[in-house]
Amino acid sequence: MEERKVKNVLLPKITAINEEVYSLEKNIDDEDYFNNVMMLNCDISNERASHVEFSEVIFKNVDFRNVKFPHIELIDVKFENCDLSNSNLNNGILHRVEMKNCKLIGIDLTDTNIQNVTLNQCSGDYSNISFSTLKNVNFIDSSFNNVIFENSKFNKVNFENVSMRQIDISKAMVKGIDFRNSDIEGLIGDVRDLYGIVVTPMQALSLSRILGIVIKE
């Protein structure tokens, strides 16, 4: 598949990663700090810790399922072929993060600052990204159906070939966001939530139900 161009996003700055693969020999504890390491084929599923920070870290084939890492900080981090399904990263900071071919099904990213993040070929159905700030974020060739974006703020968020059926944008700030290259069938919201979004004529026809328009031939 041809690699799509990343728009408006600062990529992770990983200067000189330690070539030695980091091995977790203990549970992750509150306020642990990981810097300049690579984690490969690790299983940290079901871990519980608060205020953990990862900086200049590469994760490959890491199992994060069901972790609870509230107030996490992910800065200059790459994820590849990782599973973060049903993980809780609420009240966190994601800055200059790249995720490729990752599972994010049911992930909790509520009250999270998400900035300069690229999600490419990811599955994030049934995620909760409400009350969050998304700035300079790319969703590319991914599936994010049934996601809750309620009360979130969007700024320079790009959706490129993304399945987003039944997403909830109630009270979200999405003015100027271009959905034309994605599937937003069944979008949930009201008239005020639709203000300023960019859609195709066919998408506008589908959204007419929210506007209370009855279309007859």
- Count the domains in the chain: 1
| Dist. CA 159–CA 175, nearest whole Å | 14
48 occurs within a structural domain: yes
- Average confidence score pLDDT of the chain: 91
pLDDT tens profile 97-151 = 999 999 999 999 999 999 999 999 999 999 999 999 999 999 999 999 999 999 9
160 occurs within a structural domain: yes
Range from 13-17, 30-34, 54-58, 89-93 carrying the lowest mean pLDDT: 13-17
| pLDDT of the residue at 73 | 98
79 occurs within a structural domain: yes
96 occurs within a structural domain: yes
| Dist. CA 1–CA 146, nearest whole Å | 26
Q: Which residues have CB under 8 Å from 201's CB, separation 6+?
A: none
185 occurs within a structural domain: yes
State mean pLDDT over 30-49.
93
1 occurs within a structural domain: no
| pLDDT of the residue at 1 | 46
- Domain CATH number, residue 123: 2.160.20.80
177 occurs within a structural domain: yes
**Are residues 66 and 45 in contact, defined by beta-carbon separation less than 8 angstroms?**
yes
Q: How does residue 208 score in pLDDT terms, banded at 50, 70 and 90?
A: confident
pLDDT tens profile 53-104 = 999 999 999 999 999 999 999 999 999 999 999 999 999 999 999 999 999 9
Q: Which residue range(s) make up the domain with 181?
A: 33-211
Cα dihedral 138, 142, 148, 153 in deg (nearest 10): 10
11 occurs within a structural domain: no
| Dist. CA 60–CA 79, nearest whole Å | 6
Range from 2-6, 148-152, 188-192 carrying the lowest mean pLDDT: 2-6
Per the DSSP assignment, residues forming a β-bridge with 135 are: 115, 155
| Dist. CA 206–CA 194, nearest whole Å | 12
- pTM for the whole structure: 0.88
| pLDDT of the residue at 76 | 97
| Dist. CA 167–CA 185, nearest whole Å | 8
